[in-house]
Each structure stands twice: as structure tokens, then as C-alpha cells.
Amino acid sequence: MVRMTRPRIAVIGLGGIAQSVHLPLIQRNRADVDLAAVVELSASRLAVLADRYGVPAGGRFTSLEALLCALADGSVRIDAAIVATGGGHTDETLALIRAGVKVLVEKPLGWSPQDLEALEQGLADLRRDPRDWLRIGYMKEHDPAVAAAREILADVVPREVRVEVLHPADGAQIRFARLEPAADDVEPATLAALTARGARSISEATGADDDTLRRLWSNVVLGSVIHDIALTRHLGLGLDRVLHARRQGDQFPGSVFGVGLTTADVPWNLGWHFISDYPEYRETVTVHHERGTVQLEFATPYILNAPTVLRVCDGGDQLSSQVSTRTWPQEEAFERELRALLTLASGGNCGGSSLAEARTDLASAQALWGACAISAGLDVVAGSGDAAPRQ
């Protein structure tokens, strides 16, 4: 009997999401996957985590370029990579795919339409179909509660979509994970180059000089709200047309309010609130339809096997009302996402969003940000993200 080789995986970037989610899940699924390489700019953090997860000395790299060189000379072989660095990821994604590696990339794929266009052109030049090589890390698409909600919503006529996010400080959400201390041994020139690249992409996407609006784009809209944009699209109820939106609050990030219509003219309402000392992260997506209500309630995303709650309210005979609640505590969305990546790495077909969906989501994000910019007194060129002070 021939034993199949386990897919070899690399994790690029060993920050909070890698430490709290990706590395523990790879370890939990070690019978089916081989953690062959890790990349981290901080040499000290790299050493600690590589030791902890048993990565061989030849699979430890302080830059993506070093990993790519090892792939080129054959000293390291990997089938798939999880890109979990900060900021946009189009350059890293293209370089890995060029090297023959399937990629799961944390959101956002890119910070500007130009980022995504460059990736699309690069893949076209390589003659590689994005769906065969790339998935976006929208873990909620792999949540069994979301799958059940999507099935229900396919057979009803939605009347309204409501999204509410109550977002405490990140430190409070992830304290349980006991992350490694912040790194202080990364070369300043390396950090400066990454910062400059991100600043260029933000300028391309927004055209804004205002620091608050630039951070609204990078930290809030693409840092958090993009998950809800992607989720509602996945449910067939994308937050497409924005009628009005604004950021509210004396201190950043405050709250973001938005109203609009889906492509099917279903009204949507978004409320995103940063409340530093709120006791627990809470995110709900509620869809009212002609026969009842479907609601998803998500827990803190970094806690594994904290199940999403699906509540369904519908009518029965004789004007009765019934409410059912379902959870899937044995299923973890991030783990299902990992297994989808392993399927992709093995040449199989799997669900999940790729480049085309990332472009759709970025356009919706720009529309939401643009409406907030208009509310803040800037003129925005429709569809371009270019903003200028209103005269």
C-alpha cells in the first residue's frame, strides 16, 4: 500500500492570527499536513515559534525572498502557503504562485484596485487561473451555520439585512492566546519599506490626505467591515449600493453607520462600533424575510470552536411562531478553511472566494468609505475613491 504524501504548508507572518489560529490548527491536523516552513521578519519570534511547532532549521526564514530562493534551489518544497502578514498581500501572493505554491491569504488581498489589477495581470501572464491557485481568508464562508443560513435564504424573499458589530479592543479579544511579545528586532529599513508600500496603496484607493479617513480605510473598512461585506455577498445579499454612511465619534475609530440597497433592492443597515471596554466581541447578521427571520451571531473570531449561533424564527400552523437555535460546536470555520486549502493544494476543487470576489468586495468597501468621506466634507469621484476637500 502506497502512503500518500501529506501536503507541505508554509505560514508567512507569525503575528496574532497565526499564533492564535493557524499554527494551532495545523498542529491539530498534523496527521494530514506537514508544517514545512515559516517566515517571520523577527528572528527572535521566528526561533521561538519554529521551535514550538517543530519546524526544521532549513524551513525557517526571515524574509519571503529567502523562502523563494530555497524553493528555487530545491532545498525546501511546499505545496501551499498561508499569508498572514500585515497590510495588502498581492505581491507576496503573486510571487508564491509563480513559484508553484497554492495560497490562502488573509484579508485584505489588496488595499487598492490597482493592487488587484496588478495581481490579475500577473496571473494572466503566468496563465494561471486564480480559482485554481488562490483563496481569500474569509473563514465565515466555511462556517456550517453560515452554510445552513445560506440554504434557508435561497428559498425566501428577504425584506431587510441588518449587520451589527460590537468591537472591543484587540488586546481584550486575544488576551487568552498569550501571544509572544511584540518584536523589536526587525530592521527599520524593512519596516519603512512596508509602510511606504501600504501608504501608496491607501492613496491609490482613497486619494485622501486626511489621516482619519486613511485609517478608516485601512484599519476599519478593510480591517474589519470587509468580513461583513464578504459574508453578506456570500449569502446573496451583498452591501452593494450605499445610500448614506458616516463615521461618528470624537476618538478614532468610533462608529460607522451605513444604509443602502443590495443588487436585488433589499434594504441593508450596518452599525459597526468600536467600544474599547465592551465585555465581549459580538457580531450579528439578521435577515428579515416574508415568513420570518434568520440570524447569525458570531463569537470572538480568534477563539477556536466557539460556535456561531443560528437562530431561525418562522411561523407554524394557526398563527403560531417558533424559534429554533442551532450550533455546531464540533466544527471550526478556520479548520474547515484549512482543509479546503489542503484540498486545493492536492489539486482538488473547493469552495471559497478568490480574486473575482475580492474585486467585488473591494468595490463595495470603496463605496462605503466614499460615503463616509462625503459625510466628512470631502468630494469623492464615484467609483474611484479619489477624494478632495469640499469647497
Domain ranges of the chain: 8-139
Q: Amino acid letter at 262?
A: T
Q: What strand order describes the sheet that includes 267-274?
A: 241-248, 255-261, 267-274, 158-167, 282-289, 292-298, 309-315, 321-326
* Grid cell listed for 281: 466581541
339 pLDDT higher than 90 = yes
Share of the chain above pLDDT 90, in %: 86
Which segment of 25-29, 97-101, 238-242 scores lowest on mean pLDDT?
238-242
Query: Above pLDDT 70, what percent of the chain?
Result: 95
Q: Residue 373: its pLDDT value, please?
A: 95
d(CA 109, CA 327): 30
pLDDT digits (tens, 9 = 90+) for 310-330: 999 998 666 678 899 999 999
pLDDT score of 1 more than 80: no
Neighbours of 348 (CB within 10 A): 9
Residue type, position 261, single letter: L
Summarize the confidence of residues 232-243 as an average pLDDT: 96
What is the CB neighbour count within 10 angstroms for residue 162?
16
Query: Quick one: average pLDDT of 149-155?
Result: 97
pLDDT at position 390, please? 46
Task: For 251-309, write each residue's pLDDT tens digit.
Answer: 999 999 999 999 899 999 999 999 999 999 999 999 999 999 999 999 998 899 999 99
**CA angle (247 as vertex; 243, 250 as ends), nearest 5:** 155
Task: Read off φ and ψ for residue 266, nearest 5 degrees.
Answer: -85, 125
pLDDT of residue 173: 79
Rounded Cα–Cα distance for residues 24 and 28 (Å): 6
pLDDT, mean of residues 126-137: 97
Inter-residue contact 135 to 350 (CB < 8 Å):
yes
Q: Which three cell numbers stand for residue 17?
A: 492570527
43 vs 287: CA distance, rounded Å: 47
Count how many Cα atoms sit within 13 Å of the Cα of residue 110 in the half-sphere of its side chain.
28
Whether residue 143 contacts residue 251, with contact meaning beta carbons closer than 8 Å, is answered with no
382 confidence band (pLDDT: 50, 70, 90): very low
Instruction: Answer for the pair 256, 246: CB distance below 8 angstroms, yes or no.
Output: yes
CATH number for the domain formed by residue range(s) 8-139? 3.40.50.720
Alpha carbon separation from 14 to 52, 179, 205 (Å, rounded): 12, 10, 27
Please give the backbone phi and psi of residue 296, each rounded to the nearest 5 degrees, phi first: -110, 130
